[in-house]
A and B are shown apart, each in its own frame.
Chain A
Amino acid sequence: MQQAIPYKSWPLPCIDATSHRARSTTTLGHNGRGKDVLNIVSENAVIVLARKGCCMSHVVRRLLLTLGVNPAVHEIDEEDEAGVLNELGTICKGTENNKMVQLPAVFIGGRLFGGLDKVMATHISGDLIPVLKDAGALWL
Chain B
Amino acid sequence: MDFPSTQFVPSRMMGTYEPIHQIGMWGENFKSIGNPSISASVIVEVDNKLENESETASHEMPAPSCKHDQEASKPFDKIQRRLAQNREAARKSRLRKKAYVQQLESSRLKLIQLEKELEQAREQQGLYIGGGLEAGHLGFSGVVNPGIAAFEMEYKHWMQVQNRQLGELRTALNAQISDIELRIVVENGMSHYFELFRMKSTVAKADVFYVMSGTWKTSAERFFSWIGGFRPSELLKVLVAQLDPLTDQQIFEVCNLKQSCQQAEDALSQGMEKLQETVSATLAAGQLGQGTYFPQVAMAMEKLEALVCFVNQADHLRQETLQQMSHILTTRQAARGLLALGEYIQRLQDLSTLWATHPREPA
Contact = CB atoms under 8 A, between A and B. Distances in A.
Interface in A61-112: 62-63, 66-67
Given A117-B316, A124-B321, A126-B256, A60 B267 contact: yes
A115 to B, nearest CB: 10
Interface string B140-176: 0000000000000000000000000000000000000
Contact of A124 (B303, B306, B324): B324
B319 to A, nearest CB: 9
Contacts of A63: 263-264, 267
Interface string A45-69: 0000000011110111011001100
Given A124-B260, A124-B261, A126-B260, A58 B313 contact: no
Given A125-B320, A125-B324, A117 B313 contact: yes
Contact of A56 (B263, B309, B321): B309
Interface residues of B, number: 28
B95 interface: no
Max chain B C-beta neighbours (<10 A), residue from A53, A63, A120, A121: A120
Nearest to A54: B306
Interface in B269-302: 270-272, 274-275, 278
A135 interface: no
A58 B309 CA distance: 13
Nearest to B322: A124
Q: Is the interface of B mostly helix, strand, loop or mixed?
A: helix
Nearest to B321: A124
B10 to A, nearest CB: 72
Interface residues of A toward B: which range?
A: 10 to 19
B154 to A, nearest CB: 24
A55 B341 CA distance: 32
30 contacts: A53-B278, A54-B306, A55-B271, A55-B274, A55-B278, A55-B309, A56-B306, A56-B309, A58-B270, A59-B267, A59-B313, A60-B267, A62-B266, A62-B271, A63-B267, A67-B263, A116-B313, A117-B316, A120-B313, A121-B320, A123-B263, A123-B264, A124-B261, A124-B321, A124-B323, A125-B320, A125-B327, A126-B253, A126-B257, A126-B324
Interface of A: 53-56, 58-60, 62-63, 66-67, 116-117, 120-121, 123-126
Interface of B: 253, 256-257, 260-261, 263-264, 266-268, 270-272, 274-275, 278, 303, 306, 309-310, 313, 316-317, 320-321, 323-324, 327
